[in-house]
Amino acid sequence: MEAMVTAWLLGKKCTVPATLTIMDAMEYAGFKLIRGVGCRNGFCGACAVIYRLKGTTELKVVLACQTKIEEGMCVGKIESFPLNKRSFNLEELRPTDNIIGQLYPEIYSCIGCNACTKGCPEGINVMQYIAYAQRGEYEKCARESFDCVGCNICASRCPAQISHSAVGLLARRLTGRYLEPQCAHLEKRVAEVEQGLYREPLTKLKNLPLAELQKLYNNREIEK
């Protein structure tokens, strides 16, 4: 028989297969994840949960999609972290005059505790990209934060209340808009798409066997 574990999911005592992730265990127990979660037609990073093991007081914050259920888990759902995200018009900004520091001055309150990096489920060096933002090195900040899924677990651990994901996102937008070299063929390709030149090839791709589609993907030319 399949090994089972007992856990408390959103206050409900449940017995679920030990092989499941927290997300799958919640669905197995009857919860419907119909909002927010990326692999359920929402956005990636929305499945952050907080849990402790029965008999302990240590709280842990993780992504439910990549964390296995354990015996005695007490799991609570985190809808969102209250980020202090600023409003701006990207066309009115420039990657000069330390614009990120002006919009997010709390980055200078970083005490170097590295709790943000330790908490990142994607293994991103969060404290490092905040340091790049402090110095106005936005291209480095953009690259270091590129894999961020915006779960904001880092923000939940930050004593300086820095909105790390918002800082990284702004750095990537500034880099893409102003700092990275423009692709010479991009406007031409966009015009071709709008003219419908790729509708037939796209239909053919949709009908390819999975193995052939994977082969095409793995051997594709990647622009440098």
> Which range has the worst mean pLDDT, 37-41, 164-168, 189-193?
37-41
pLDDT tens sequence across 124-182: 999 999 999 999 999 999 999 999 988 899 998 899 999 999 999 999 999 999 998 87
Distance CA 24, CA 17 (A): 10
Fold of 4-77: Ubiquitin-like (UB roll) (3.10.20)
Domain ranges of the chain: 4-77, 90-179, 186-215
Using DSSP bridges, classify how beta strands 4-9 and 60-63 pair: parallel, antiparallel or unpaired. unpaired
What integer pLDDT is reported at residue 146 of this predicted model?
A: 95
32 against 74, higher pLDDT: 74
Average pLDDT, the chain: 90
**pLDDT over 70 at 82, yes or no:** no
Name the nearest CA neighbour of 56 among 72, 77, 70: 72
